[in-house]
Amino acid sequence: MKIDIFTLFPEWFGWLSRERHVANVLARGSEIECVDFRRYTPLSGGQVDDTPFGGGAGMVLRVDVIDAALRGHYGVEPVELRSRRRVIALAPAGRLLDEALVNELAAEPALTLLCGRYEGFDERILENFASDVVSIGRYVLSGGEPAAMVICDAVLRKLPGALGDERSAGEESFSEALEGNPEYPHYTRPAEYRGWTVPEVLLSGHHERIEQWRRERSRERGGRRDR
């Protein structure tokens, strides 16, 4: 998996590459590359944004700047790029990221993430360069960078070798193994703390009953979406 992140803040992503499960997949040949929009801007003084036509607060990322960045980095006509790889613009009103979309993205060989800033993107960027517009939730961040990090984290941990124990990805919240439900509760030592006890069944060593208890708790949580 090769993930290219176009951003005004490439240095923010350093920690992500050092994070354990991300480092694990990078060591196995995956790659994260950050591209600074300013590196390719055709405008003077590193300008990348402008005031919105029609007035209003904030600044909008310019279509000519994104065109130049994609063309400069990939050496192809940016309009053609999205037929070769997913080009994902991050914006609050996009398709909501969920486990199904994460799985879809994890199956791709390469992704391009475009981080908006300020008031976001000139609409022509979304119309002509992006294959997808993705949101991590219905709230407004100061920019797409945290959303890009969320996508990298969620997608890369799906890849072989990311997690120490391969079983932990198979049976986790929203997985097929749990019928799309949230994960069951976990407990560890001590078995009793301040009078708070662990469900008996988990201490029983009876694997079938434990399995059944876990399925039931998971389904229960699935029916109660607010927690």
- For residue 161, give the nearest of 5, 33, 29 by alpha carbon: 29
105, 144, 155, 162: residue in contact with ligand ADE (rule CB under 6 A) = 144
76, 79, 107, 140: residue in contact with ligand ADE (rule CB under 6 A) = 140
Contact between 112 and ligand ADE (CB under 6 A)?
no
Q: Where does this chain touch ligand ADE (CB under 6 A) — which range of 53-61, 71-79, 133-141, 219-227?
A: 133-141
Q: Where does this chain touch ligand ADE (CB under 6 A) — which range of 40-48, 75-83, 129-137, 197-205?
A: 129-137
| Matching residue, tokens 């097929």 | 176
Contact between 90 and ligand ADE (CB under 6 A)?
yes
Instruction: Rank residues 121 and 213 by Cβ distance to ligand ADE and give the closer one.
Output: 121
26, 66, 113, 136: residue in contact with ligand ADE (rule CB under 6 A) = 136
Beta carbons within 8 Å of 69's beta carbon, 6+ residues apart: 6, 35, 37, 39, 40, 41
- Binding to ligand ADE in span 12-31, by CB under 6 A: none
Backbone angles phi, psi at 173, to 5 degrees: -50, 135
* Shortest separation between residue 61's beta carbon and ligand ADE, angstroms: 11
CA-to-CA distance for 129 and 124, rounded, in angstroms? 8
CA-to-CA distance for 51 and 142, rounded, in angstroms? 17
Contact between 198 and ligand ADE (CB under 6 A)?
no
19, 36, 73, 92: residue in contact with ligand ADE (rule CB under 6 A) = 92
The pair of three-digit structure tokens given for residue 20, joined into one six-digit string? 């354990």
Contact between 135 and ligand ADE (CB under 6 A)?
yes
Asked whether the beta carbons of 90 and 126 are under 8 A apart, the reply is no
| Matching residue, tokens 């994104």 | 66
Contact between 87 and ligand ADE (CB under 6 A)?
no
Query: CA torsion sign, 25 to 28 to 29 to 35?
Result: positive
- Binding-site ranges for ligand ADE (CB under 6 A): 90-92, 116, 135-137, 139-141, 144, 147
